[in-house]
Chain A
Amino acid sequence: MKSKNIKTVAAGGLLDRRSFILSGLALTTISPIASFASTGSEGHSVIGETLPSWMKVPGKGATAYGLPSSHEQHVRRHLEKNTPETSLFSIWNSPIENQRGIITPSSLHFTVSHNGIPDIDPTKHQLMIHGLVEKPLKFDIDSLLRYPMVSNIHFLECAGNTAPNAVSFTALDQSCQDLFGQISGSEWAGVPLKYLFQEAGLKPSAKWVTVEGADGGSHARSIPLEKLMDDAIIALYQNGERLRPEQGYPMRLFLPGWEGNANVKWVHRLEVTDQPAFTKDESGLYSDILGDGKIQRFSFHMGVKSVITHPSGKQRLPEKKGFYEISGLAWSGHGKIKKVEVSADGGLTWALAHLDSPILSKSLTRFHIPWQWQGLETILLSRATDEHGNVQPTRDQWREKYASYSFNHFNGIQAWHIDNNGVIKNVYI
């Protein structure tokens, strides 16, 4: 590694975001030389002798529906422990520290359900539109599949993601999955809702739509018509295949950038109204309590946020004074990520991280920056800014706005403490 290629850009060992690539090239030129050692009796040797077993037998056939390697069984969703433990209300967090890129495999996408996952027969499922429309309509799935579709890559985040850091008096020693696992990214494809509303014909007094699922609890949310006529879709596909049951099979409402709970799964009914219904979730669990005791309702947007996933909580850096690539995710419910700054000295100095393409609106954006750990205790931070100038607040700035027991929409800057043994812990700064 030639030092002339590497530029320090902030204290704590943060290096220029391009230097890892340059130094990597220098390293790869060394390795081929070692493989030309001569052994002498070449004519009698069998190349298989020293090679691994899987290189000496024919492999297995593929299967009709592929599965991850059996060696990756540790990469699993975790059931969050502190909700009333029934299968009916459950929160499963995605292992984001085991993923790279911006797409979460559908099997690992976080999932929250308040009344369990229904087993819906798609041939008997219909999407109904009624209320303040000229023509009340119903659509079966075969009809919906014929409409023009859009497909876009977006994040989905539960309003309660990272809630422990919002309300816990002490920073809990938890993993990235435990603290941040209610965020995922997918390609969602489906029918823009405006096509269906145009067909039904909206009456002038139409303002809100009560969107209801066909699950046991008939989950419902009131959604402003502006959003539904903008970029909302009836999603039918996730990552190229039809939705998984825990994501709303056979169809869900998808609202780019808005809190997960409003993206009604198993959607079957849209009642166009002139008023919100104040359903269970918008009345209670998905309202926010402000610092002055006021209760904020219909705060749909997920704010600008980021987290370093590599390295992160409950991990240990394997090599003292080693060379690492810090990597993480940033997102904003308002638009594109403009920049992510990283600090390796607890916030005294900051450096710009590299943003991987594609940088998409209301989507996960992957960032990274090379880092030479100096082997000393330190704190890693990341701070995202979106294209509208929204900057991720500190934890204290966020808590100034909300009551001490308000836990939704927490987007404070995450701090990972590293001790001089390389052990990483969640901390408040």
Chain B
Amino acid sequence: MFISNLRRQRYASCILLIISIISIEVYADDSTSISKMNLGQVLTQSEIEKYSITIYPDGKHLSKGHGSVAQGRELYNSQCQMCHGEGGIEGPAARLAGTNGWLSFSDPFRILRIKEYPVLLISVGGMWPYATSIYDYIRRAMPHYAPKSLTNNQVYELTAYILYLNELIDENVRLDETSLPSIKMPSHDLSVDAWANYIETAKINESTQNTDH
């Protein structure tokens, strides 16, 4: 009686041990169990095309179309000028043209404008490294009160006008999906990539630590 009880206990503890080993294994391999959730549903190509609006610096996803500076001026004056100012520098909304900073020969009132709205310290023409970003942002977000209401051609027109205000294209230029990505912005060559530097430093630190061991 006593022995069989002991045996039973041994069996029980063996079984418990096996169960716990199994459960530890299952638990440790959590990536497998999580990928088994598989609750994501297939996203179809037509859904991707409907939502995929981001334009990349190399022109990826740019829609076919075109727009001239003259058309852009007309549209700008009716839909953008009230927030961005006649020359794209007056605000109150973000400054579209000119250099960054406190002072400007072409705009003697700049410091007064900045005092009221510090965001006017920087400008699209002075900061943005790629002209494709202008197209991207206008198409997704402008005008502020009615985003996504402009046609693709209208977006080309406004992009052309902003580039013209920055003296980056001539008045007679017609912008399209081929010419837009080829425009070189003044700040492009001034760019420093903090993330790339961070990764580089992290790698150096890691290799230093490894050689220490």
Contact = CB atoms under 8 A, between A and B. Distances in A.
Contacts of A297: 129, 191-195
Contact of A403 (B94, B101, B119, B145): B101
B38 to A, nearest CB: 6
Contacts of A289: 100, 122
Interface stretch (B3-11, B15-23, B51-59): B51-59
B54 A210 contact: yes
Interface in B80-119: 83, 91-94, 100-102, 116-119
B147 A218 contact: yes
Interface string A118-143: 00000000001110000111111001
Interface in A274-317: 275, 277-280, 283-285, 287-290, 293-301
B40 A224 contact: no
A295 B198 contact: no
Given A83-B117, A137-B40, A277 B56 contact: yes
Interface stretch (B135-143, B151-159, B161-169): B135-143
Given A139-B39, A199-B40, A82 B116 contact: yes
A297 B129 CA distance: 10
A245 interface: no
Contacts of B94: 284-285
A285 B42 CA distance: 36
Contacts of B41: 137-140, 143
Taking residues whose C-beta sits less than 8 angstroms from the other chain, chain B's interface range is 35 or more
A200 interface: yes
A298 B194 contact: yes
Contacts of A269: 51-52
A240 interface: no
B190 A138 contact: no
A299 B121 contact: no
Nearest to B91: A84
B136 A143 contact: no
B124 interface: yes
A238 interface: no
B97 to A, nearest CB: 13
A226 B58 CA distance: 23
Given A212-B54, A279-B136, A407 B118 contact: yes
A14 interface: no
Closest 9 A/B residue pairs (Cβ) = A137-B40, A217-B141, A84-B92, A299-B194, A298-B195, A136-B43, A143-B39, A280-B137, A283-B128
Interface of B: 30-31, 34-35, 37-44, 47-48, 51-58, 83, 91-94, 100-102, 116-119, 121-124, 127-130, 132-133, 136-137, 140-141, 144-145, 147-148, 187, 190-196, 198-199
16 contacts: A82-B117, A84-B92, A143-B39, A148-B34, A210-B54, A216-B141, A216-B147, A218-B140, A277-B55, A277-B136, A278-B56, A283-B130, A284-B128, A293-B190, A295-B192, A405-B121
